[in-house]
């Protein structure tokens, strides 16, 4: 029985081969950051206010001006076809039905155009620069704009590929997975934006008709640099513990980034979001929205599109319940005073 986001993993593990499961589940080195992402949420405590009329509860908000029904979305994750033959088209359809933001990965199994056709909901495109500030990167950005994606999410925490030992032990090769967006199979793990640096952001903003979000910011210093370089939003993330191990949980650095950004850009967070109580905690600490990675691919593997729809519904129900019990009838009423 699927009662919450964690319930999908065991079924998914049975259905996926050991290699695909290891690819989805693993994190780098000792997986300290992976564990910490969830533990840090569990350490937070909520401060409920009572006798607030919560009968007309509203979870809606906007992300860079795009209306969404819930303050959470689907994080970009690679090669959904490993989980289900319909790949990202199934995941994106479920997100659209829930009114949740769907962020399609550069490393999707399906092309960004196919995903856009399947999903008439709010959608962003996650960018790994293919040739740094070059024509192949520009072509991806232009395709995303033409296909109705409303922001470019530049992932900035992949300066080098990290080692995920569970996959190495199994000899499982990500680079054999076919890609819908790239001419060839995907590169050595995710393609690293090795030479992409702050000055290339000006180039990206110049060629992109869409606002640029920086995903993978973990410090106040980089949060400030991001807005100084014109980022429309900053996405606090440690890549689900898959890049530098032993960085803090994303929820533990959210506040310093929010303070550095100082209202000049929207701030999002991912990493370890599993419960409605996690959603309200992140919102209370200043996130405008949160994103969910692994549980969505586990739900896809466990029960196809219906699984993703159920996972999103369960998280929406939990978020509504947490808001009601917290005494916050809508998203703007969730404040710093609601969390310790
Ligand atoms: C299997 C897998 C593949 C991922 N692929 C990408 C990707 O292609 N692009 C990207 O920006 N982030 C990628 N991520 C990171 C997610 O966007 C997100 O930061 C992370 O999964 C959030 O943590 P969570 O899994 O605890 O929810 C991937 C994560 C996983 C688990």
In this predicted model, what pLDDT tens digit does every residue of 58-78 receive, in sequence order?
Answer: 999 999 999 999 999 999 999
* Nearest Cα residue to atom 15 of ligand 1: 239
Is the C-beta atom of 28 inside 6 A of ligand 1? no
Chain-centroid distance, C-alpha 16:
22
Query: Could you tell me if the CB of 289 is within 6 A of ligand 1?
Result: no
43-70: average pLDDT:
98
Atom of ligand 1 nearest to the CA of 216: 19
* Nearest alpha carbon, ligand 1 atom 14: 77
Q: Is 76 in the pocket of ligand 1 (CB under 6 A)?
A: yes
pLDDT of residue 188: 47
- How many angstroms separate the alpha carbon of residue 337 from the centre of ligand 1? 30
CA distances from 278 to 71, 72, 121, 193 (A): 11, 11, 24, 31
Mean pLDDT of 265-281: 98
Q: What is the mean pLDDT of residues 14-34?
A: 97
Nearest CA to ligand 1 atom 21: 293
Q: What is the whole-number distance in angstroms between the Cα of residue 52 and the centre of ligand 1?
A: 37
Reported pTM: 0.97
Owner of token pair 């399609």? 104
Q: Return the minimum-mean-pLDDT range out of 44-53, 123-132, 225-234, 289-298.
A: 123-132
Residues 205, 231 contacting (CB under 8 angstroms): no
Give the residue whose CA is nearest to atom 4 of ligand 1: 77
104 has pLDDT over 90: yes
Mutating to test ligand 1, I would choose from 5, 72, 76, 124 the residue with most ligand atoms within 8 A of its C-beta, which is 76
> 295 alpha carbon to ligand 1 midpoint, in Å?
10
Domain boundary assignment for the chain:
5-181+199-327
Q: Measured between alpha carbons, how far is residue 87 from residues 22, 91, 122, 153 in Å?
A: 18, 7, 18, 20
CATH number of 5-181+199-327: 3.20.20.70
Cβ neighbors of 173 (< 8 A, separation 6 or more) are none
């Amino acid at each position: 029985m699927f009662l919450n986001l964690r319930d999908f993993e065991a079924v998914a593990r049975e259905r996926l081969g050991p290699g695909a499961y290891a690819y989805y589940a693993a994190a780098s080195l000792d997986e300290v950051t992976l564990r910490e992402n969830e533990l840090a949420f569990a350490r937070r405590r909520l401060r409920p206010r009572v006798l607030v009329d919560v009968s007309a509860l509203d979870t809606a908000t906007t992300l860079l001006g795009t209306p969404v029904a819930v303050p959470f979305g689907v994080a970009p994750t690679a090669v959904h076809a490993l989980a289900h033959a319909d790949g990202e088209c199934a995941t994106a359809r479920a997100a659209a039905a829930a009114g949740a933001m769907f962020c399609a990965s550069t490393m999707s199994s399906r092309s960004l155009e196919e995903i856009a056709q399947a999903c008439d909901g709010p959608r962003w495109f996650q960018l790994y620069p293919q040739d740094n500030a070059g024509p192949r990167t520009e072509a991806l950005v232009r395709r995303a704009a033409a296909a109705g994606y409303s922001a470019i999410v530049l992932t900035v925490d992949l300066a080098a590929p990290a080692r995920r030992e569970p996959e190495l032990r199994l000899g499982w090769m990500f680079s054999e997975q076919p890609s819908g967006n790239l001419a060839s199979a995907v590169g050595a793990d995710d393609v690293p934006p090795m030479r992409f640096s702050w000055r290339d952001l000006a180039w990206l903003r110049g060629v992109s008709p869409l606002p640029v979000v920086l995903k993978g910011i973990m410090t106040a210093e980089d949060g400030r640099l991001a807005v100084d370089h014109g980022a429309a939003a900053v996405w606090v993330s440690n890549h689900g513990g898959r890049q530098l191990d032993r960085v803090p949980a994303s929820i533990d650095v959210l506040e310093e980034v929010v303070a550095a950004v100082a209202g000049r850009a929207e701030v999002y967070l991912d990493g370890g979001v599993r419960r409605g109580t996690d959603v309200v905690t992140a919102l209370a600490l200043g996130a405008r929205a949160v994103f969910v990675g692994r549980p969505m691919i586990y739900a896809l593997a466990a029960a196809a599109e219906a699984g993703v729809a159920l996972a999103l519904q369960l998280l929406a129900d939990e978020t509504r319940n947490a808001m009601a019990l917290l005494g916050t009838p809508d998203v703007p009423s969730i404040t710093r005073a609601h969390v310790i």
